[in-house]
Amino acid sequence: MSKRVGLVLGAGGVLGGAWLTGGLKALADATGWDPGEADHIVGTSAGSVIGSLTAAGIPAWFMVDHSHGETFDGLTGPDGRPAGEADRSGGGVFKLRRGLPGIGPGSWRLGLATLAQPMRHTPAALAAGWLPRGVISTHTIEDTIRRAVPGDWAEHPNLWVVACDYASARRTVFGREGSPPAELPQAVAASCSIPGFFHPVTISGRRYVDGGMRSPSNLDLLAGLDLDVVICLNPTSTLERGGGWNPLDRVAGAVRTGAGRRLGYEARRVREGGTDVVLIQPTAEDLLVMGRNLMAGKKRNEVIDKAIETVGEQLRAPEVARKLSALPAGEPHKLRRPQGPVESWPEIGPAMRRAERAARVA
C-alpha cells in the first residue's frame, strides 16, 4: 500500500518562496516522488504560493527553470497565455494599491484584543493590529496563481491555504471543509498579506492577513489525519545557532529561534498520532545567501540553487531517507524536464491521482 503523505510549506517572504522552490526540486530528485501527489498540501504565506502551484501540477523543475529565465517557446499555460510571459519574481514585484492609505492602526479590534489578553496571542499578532494598514497591492500574487489555476480552486483534493482573520487573529484554513468559500488567488493573497506591508484581503466581508501571524508553518493542521509521513519545509527556522554582534542579526536569530520552537511543538503534536515527520530547514549556507531581508528578490536564483544543494544533503541523511523510502513514484515529466521540443511534451497539469493511475493500468 502506498504511503499517505502530507506536505507542509511554510512562510518566508520572496526568498522563502525561492528556498521552497529549490527544496521541492531537491525532494523530487532525491525520492523520485512528485510533491504534487501529496495527499494533503498545507501552505502558509510564501508556502501558499508554491503549494498552490504544486497542487496545480506545476513541477518543481519547471519553477526552477522559469525563474532562471527559460521561455518555453510554444508552451501555453492553463489560461492560454504563453508560459514564458508569466512573472518570474516570485511575488517580488511591489506596487502601491490604488486609493488613500488608512490612518491609524490597521485593526483596532485586534489591537485592543491583544491588550486585553496578550498571553493568548503570538508575538506577531501582538504587533499586527497596531501596525498601519499595508499599502502594497497583492495583485501580482493573485495573477501568479490565476495563470496556473483558471478555475476557482486547484484540482487537488486537499490544498489548504492558511490566513488569519485581521479582527481576531483566528486561523482560517481556506480549502478545508467548513471554511469560508474563496477563490484560490484571493486565498493565497490573503495568506501572503504581511500586516503593515501588504493591504489586507477581503473575503466574504471579512479582512484577512498573513497566515504566518499564527504560525510560520501551521504543521499541526495535519495532526490526527492518519498520514504515514509529513514532510515540512520551513524557511523561517533553522538548526543553526545565531551569532554576530549586529543587532539586526540578533533580531533575525530571535525570530528564527521562535519559529523553530513553534515548529518543534507542532511536529510533536503530529508525531503523537503515529505519523513520521521530516523537518527540512535552511542551513548556515542558505542563511548566508538569503541574508536578513527575505523580500529581496534579486537573490532569488542564488537561493534556489543553494537550496537544491543543501536540501538534497538533508534528504540523503540515513534517518530521513528511511522515512521517505517507498514513496510512490511520480510521473517522469513531473520529476525532470522531458526530452525533445516543447510540442512533444506530455501535458503539464494536475498530477494524476494514484487511484486514477491504478484504474488506467487495470
- For residue range 193-216, list pLDDT tens digits in order: 999 999 999 999 999 999 999 999
The cell numbers describing 344, all together, are 512533444
What pLDDT is attached to residue 80? 77
Tell me the pTM.
0.92
Half-sphere exposure (CA, 13 Å, Cβ side) for 119? 0
The cell numbers describing 290, all together, are 538569503
> How high is the mean pLDDT of the chain?
90
The cell numbers describing 283, all together, are 542551513
DSSP 16: H
- Secondary structure (H, E, C), 74-101: CCECCCCCEHHHCCCCCCCCCCECCCCC
Partner residues linked to 173 by β-bridges: 162
Query: Residue 359: which pLDDT band, with cuts at 50, 70 and 90?
Result: very low
Query: Residue 104: which pLDDT band, with cuts at 50, 70 and 90?
Result: confident
Query: Residue 361: which pLDDT band, with cuts at 50, 70 and 90?
Result: very low
- The label of the residue with cell 504544486 reads 54
Burial class (CB in 10 A: 0-12, 13-18, 19+), 333: middle
Average pLDDT over residues 260-264: 94
Query: What are residue 15's phi and psi, to 5 degrees?
Result: -75, -25
If one compares 104 and 198, the residue with the highest pLDDT of the two is: 198
- For residue range 270-315, list pLDDT tens digits in order: 999 999 999 999 999 999 999 989 998 889 999 999 999 999 999 9
What pLDDT is attached to residue 167? 95
What pLDDT is attached to residue 242? 65
What pLDDT is attached to residue 357? 43
What pLDDT is attached to residue 56? 94
Cα 77 from chain centroid (whole Å): 21
